[in-house]
Amino acid sequence: MRTIYAHRGMSSLAPENTLSAFKLCADYRVGWFECDIDILHDGTIVVSHDSTLDRCTNRSGLLFDINKQDLADIDAGSWFSHDYLEEPIPTLDQLIEVMNRYKLNANIEIKSCESNVQASRDLLDGLNAALEQLAPEREYIISSFNPILLAEFKKIRPEAPIACLFENQTLNDDWHVIMEWTGAQYIHPQNDGLTREQVKMFKDRGYKVNVWTVNAKDRANELFNWGVDGIFTDFAQNFSR
């Protein structure tokens, strides 16, 4: 089965990592989306790719320096379009509600919290608690570039499907050791420079392969012909059926 993951939601149609971007997946019959989670100073877990507010909101500074009460005054949508004026930064609880209500599945990427170790522990514990509210029929994958976080989360939630993210420069000969250490079932390699031989190597070891970020249809077809299981794309509407 070939899976299309809407990268940060329908991020070419709505501001990335927002509830609007996730809800649009249902409109386009895209069953899976990808998103990123991080933690605020008061322990609130939010959906955000960046550790700063500068790129995708009307505020600047570190994400970790704000609390839940600050979210009401932050606009995470007007940078994309005036149609999304006052679009909020979603909390993880709101993300789970959207998944349940719209019958969507998610690849949830854990960001490496840059503030301190305790915040990272709180992030993992909070994610585990939130997943308890997910409807039984909903599916999820937990991914990260940080294998330590993945290995620790696997201890907390042994049943969680785990995916290791790799950039080209980090996909070294010890990749399979990292996969085994984390208990991952999925490998998520970078699209740029990925070869047929590498895909075969991953598949021969029994891993499912989802490639990021693939926006061209011809490249997607090539990858699927090589045997990859899914792709992450900014233009999921072009691949929806």
Using CA atoms, how far residue 112 sits from 94, 115, 117, 121, 225, in Å, is 21, 9, 10, 11, 33
* Cα–chain center distance at 80: 20
Q: Which residue out of 49, 82, 176, 188 is catalytically annotated?
A: 49
Asked if 82 is an active-site residue, the reply is no
Asked if 188 is an active-site residue, the reply is no
C-alpha closest to that of 214 among 202, 229, 200: 229
Give 109's strand partners. Answer: 36, 143
Q: Characterize 35-50 residue by residue with b for buried, 16 or more Cβ atoms within 10 angstroms of its Cβ, and e for exposed.
A: bbbbbbeeebbbbbbb
State the Cα–Cα distance between residues 38 and 9, nearest whole angstrom. Answer: 16
Q: Which residue out of 7, 82, 176, 188 is catalytically annotated?
A: 7
Active-site residues, by number, are 7, 49
